[in-house]
Structure 1
Amino acid sequence: MSIDEIAEVVRCHGTPLLRAADEVDEVVDACATALRPHVLRVRGRGADLSARLDHLPSAVGLCRLRYGADVTISGIAPEQDEFIVALPVAGRARFDYGRATAVLGPGAMSVVSPYRPFTLEIGRDFDQVLMRLDRRRVEIAAAALIGAREATPVHFDLTTAQISPGLVGVIDAAARLAADPYVTQRMRLVIHAETLIVDALLLGYPSNLSRRLEGVAKSPSAERVSRAMEYMLVNLAEPLSLSDVARHCGVTLRSLQLGFRREVGMSPGEWLRNQRLERAHHQLSMADEAETTVTAVSVACGFLHLGDFAARFKQRFGESPSAVLRGARR
C-alpha cells in the first residue's frame, strides 16, 4: 500500500466535484465544502486555473486535489474546525502555519492544525491527497489517550518525512472500504476505520503530546487486563479502536499496553490480531466454500484490509485463507 495507491482509489471511485475548473469562485466553493473555508489567489499574469477535485464520501472527507496553476491558499479566520492532512503525490508546495514553514513533495506529509493562520503556496504540478479530520473528534481522542478529562488541543508538527506505514495502511483501508459497494454496512466500517486513523495519527505523528504519549504510565491490574480481553473478544468482529478499549477499562492506552506486556508478553494490538486470526482460521476450516468467501470471513473477524489479512494468516498458519476454505470439511 502507498500514497499513490490511495490517490488512485480516490480518483477512480470518488465523486468528481471539479474537472478542469477555471473559475476561482467555483473552485473555492467546492474545496471549502469538501475541506475548509479559505481564500484562493492565482499567481502570475494571465495564469488560468485547471483544477480537479475528486471527493470520496466519508467522515474524514478524503479528496484528491490539483489546481493546475500556481496558487496561494490562506485561511479566512485564525481558528478553524478541521485538521487537514496532506499527502503529496507529485510536484512541490510550501506550507506556512503559524511560524512553521515546510516544503512538501512526494515522500513527505503535512498536518495543518486548526489553531493558527496558514498560507499554502502551491505549484501548478502539485497533486495531493487530502484528509479532513474534525477538530473536536481529534481533541477528544487525544484526551482519551493521555487520560485527560477534557478535550485536549493537539499541535501537530507541520511536516514530517517519517511517514508511519501503519497510518498510511489505515487510510488505505478506509478509502477502499468507502469505495467498495460489495461490503455490507461499509460506512459503519469506514467510521471505525476513521477512528483508527485519528489514533494512528496521534500515536505515529509528532505533536505537542508525543512525550506524554510515550511517557511513563502506571501498569493496570490483571483484572483490568482481563476485562480488556473480554471486551475485545465480545467485539472481535468490530474494527476496534484500542483507545476505546482503554476507555472501557478506565485506563490510558499506554497503561493498557504496559499491562498486556506484563500479562501476556505482547501489545494489546498483537493479542487482538492473534485472536482474530484464530477465529478466522476456525471459521474458514468449518465453512462451506459455496456459501462463504475469504473476504466475508475477513470482514467478520475485524480485518479491514484483505491483503494484510491474507499475508498475516499465511505467516501464522503456513497456508493461505483460500486454501483452508477449499479444504474445509474434507
Structure 2
Amino acid sequence: MPAVSIRTSDPDEACGRCGEVYFPHRLTVLHDPATFRMSLSATRIGPVSAGLLSYAGEVRLTTGELETGYEINVPLDGVLYTRTSRGEVCADPGLAAVYSPDTAAMLHGWAGGGSLFGLKIDRAALETQLADLIDAPVRSGVRLDGSITLRQGPGRQWWALARSLVELAREPDGPLSRPMVARPLVQSVITGLLHAVEHPYRDRLVTCPRRPPPESVRRAVELLETEPELPWTVVDLARRSGLSTRALQEGFLRHVGRSPMAYLRTVRLRHAHADLVAADPARHTVAGIAGRWGFVHLGRFAAAYRERYGSAPSETLHRLG
C-alpha cells in the first residue's frame, strides 16, 4: 500500500479509504452530515500500517472480525469508547485500545472532533516475532489484553518508541522512511508491544534464553561488519546467525558488551567517518552522509560522532575533505 493522504466530506469515501488502510467497517455519522469531515495520513512499512485519523464530529465505526491483524489505537485528544467481545475500553491519550484477531470491534467517539494514531500489525508478523522471541511455537490468534497504559512502565516506553511512527505517518517520505531506519524501527515497535501488553506468553519473554555458542555470535558480528548497509533488524540477524532473537541479544551482551543494534550503530558511525574524511565538501553534506548510514537525527549523530572522534562531523568534512 502506498502512502495515503486524504481529506473528505463524503462518508462513503471516508469509510472506503480508511478500510483500505485498516479494516473494512461500517461508518455511522452521529452529527449533522453536512459538517462531516475526515482526514487520514497513513503509510505502510512491511507488516505495519501506521496512520493519523481524525473526524470533525461524533461517529461510530463497526467492524467484522479482524481476521488479518492486530490493531492499537491511541487517541491524541479526547476519549474513544471501544467495545469487542472481550470487553470495553474508554481509550484516551494515556490509555491505548488494543484489538486482537477473531473478534469484531465497535469504536465510538469524536463528539467534539479529534484524532487518533492507529497502528495495524499483520497477524503473521506479530505471531512469528513472538515465537522467535520465546523460541517456541505460538498458537495462532494471540489474545492481547484490550488496553495498554501509556503513562508508566513498559507501556510508556513502548509509546515513546511508537511515536516515531506517528512522525512517519505525518511525513511518509521523510528520513524515517529509509529502509535502514524504518525496518528496525518496525521490529522494535512490535517487540516493545509484546513486552508492554498482557498476553498468555508474556511471562516467557523474561525467562533466560539458552546461552548461544560464541561462534554464532562471531558470525553475527562478521555479518554486521561486512554488510552494514543492509537494513538489519535483530530478527534478520538472528536468523542469518542460526539463533533465536533472545539468544542473539544475550550472546552480544555476554561476548560483545552491547546489543546487536548498538554494535551496528558503531560500525555505521565508523563508515560515516570514513565517508566524511573522503568527501568533497562542495558536493556532499553531513546530513547526506549521516542519512546514508541510517542516522536521521543529526543532533544525536553529531553527539555520538564527537564522543567517538573528538570533533564535529562538519569539522571533519571541511578540514579533511
**Which residue of the partner structure matches residue 238 of structure 1?**
230
Q: What does residue 208 of structure 2 align with?
A: 216
1:257 to 234, 249, 252: 249
The CA distance in 2 between the partners of 1:203 and 1:318, in whole Å, is: 37
Aligned partners of 2:317 and 2:144: how far apart in 1? 45
* Aligned residue in 1 for 2:38: 52
Assess if the C-alpha contact under 8 Å between 1:28 and 1:40 holds in 2: yes
Alignment of 1:120-159 (within 5 A): 120-124=107-111, 125-148=113-136, 152-159=140-147
Q: Which amino acid aligns with 1:16?
A: S
Aligned equivalents of 2:298, 2:143: Cα separation in 1: 34
Q: Which segment is superposed worse, 222-231 or 185-194? A: 185-194
Aligned equivalents of 1:110 and 1:310: distance in 2? 37
Of residues 23, 36, 40 in structure 1, which corresponds to 2:27? 40
Letter in 2 for 1:116: T
What is the CA distance between 1:305 and its match in structure 2? 4.3
Task: Give the match's secondary structure for 1:17.
Answer: strand
Alpha-carbon distance, 1:252 to partner: 1.4
CA contact (8 A) 1:84 1:133 kept: yes
Task: State the alpha-carbon separation in 2 of the partners of residues 291 and 58 from structure 1.
Answer: 33
1:291 and 2:283 matched: yes
Q: Which amino acid aligns with 1:320?
A: A
What's the CA shift for 1:85? 2.6
Give the counterpart of 1:67 among 37, 55, 58: 55
Offset at residue 316 of structure 1 (A): 4.0
1:128 aligns to what SS in structure 2?
A: strand
Distance 1:278 1:245 in 2: 20
1:142–1:265 Cα change, 3 Å:
same
CA contact (8 A) 2:290 2:301 kept: yes
The match for 2:7 is 18
Structure 1 residues 85 and 222: alpha-carbon distance in aligned structure 2, compared to 1, 3 A threshold: same
Aligned mates of 1:287, 1:32 — CA distance in 2: 47
Check 1:307–1:326 CA distance in 2 against 1; reply closer, same or farther (3 A cut): same
Instruction: Using structure 2 for the length normalisation, give the TM-score.
Output: 0.82
Q: Distance in 2 between matches of 1:232 and 1:200?
A: 23
The yes-or-no answer on 1:229 pairing with 2:199 is: no
Aligned identity (percent) is 27
Deviation, structure 1 residue 32: 0.9
Query: Are residues 159 and 231 of structure 1, via their aligned partners in 2, closer, same or farther at CA, if it must alter by over 3 Å?
Result: same
Superposed CA offset, 1:185-243 (max 9, x none): 94686456534443443345544333222212111011011011111222212231101
Greater shift, 229-238 or 285-294, is seen at 285-294
Shift of 1:166: 5.5
Read off the aligned partner of 1:168 and give its amino acid letter: A
Structure 1, residues 242-296: CA drift from partner, whole Å, max 9, x if none? 0111122222111112111211222222222222222222322332212322233
In the superposition, relative to structure 1, how do residues 238 and 148 fare at CA in structure 2: closer, same or farther (>3 Å)? same
Q: CA deviation at 1:87?
A: 2.9
Aligned residue among 4, 9, 16 for 1:29: 16
What amino acid sits opposite 1:227 in the alignment? R
Query: 2:180 touches 2:229 (CA, 8 Å); kept in 1?
Result: no
Structure 1 residue matching 2:237: 3-state secondary structure: helix
Provide the C-alpha distance between the structure 2 equivalents of 1:293 and 1:176, rounded to a whole number of angstroms: 25
Q: Secondary structure at the match of 2:89?
A: strand
Question: Which is further off, 256-265 or 104-113?
Answer: 104-113
For the 8 Å contact 1:147–1:251, the answer to whether it is kept is no
Distance 1:177 1:187 in 2: 15
Asked if 1:276 corresponds to 2:276, the answer is: no
3-state SS in 2 of match to 1:216 = coil
Contact 2:181 2:294 in 1 (8 A): no
Q: In the alignment, what sits opposite 2:292? A: 300
Gaps of 5+ in 2: none
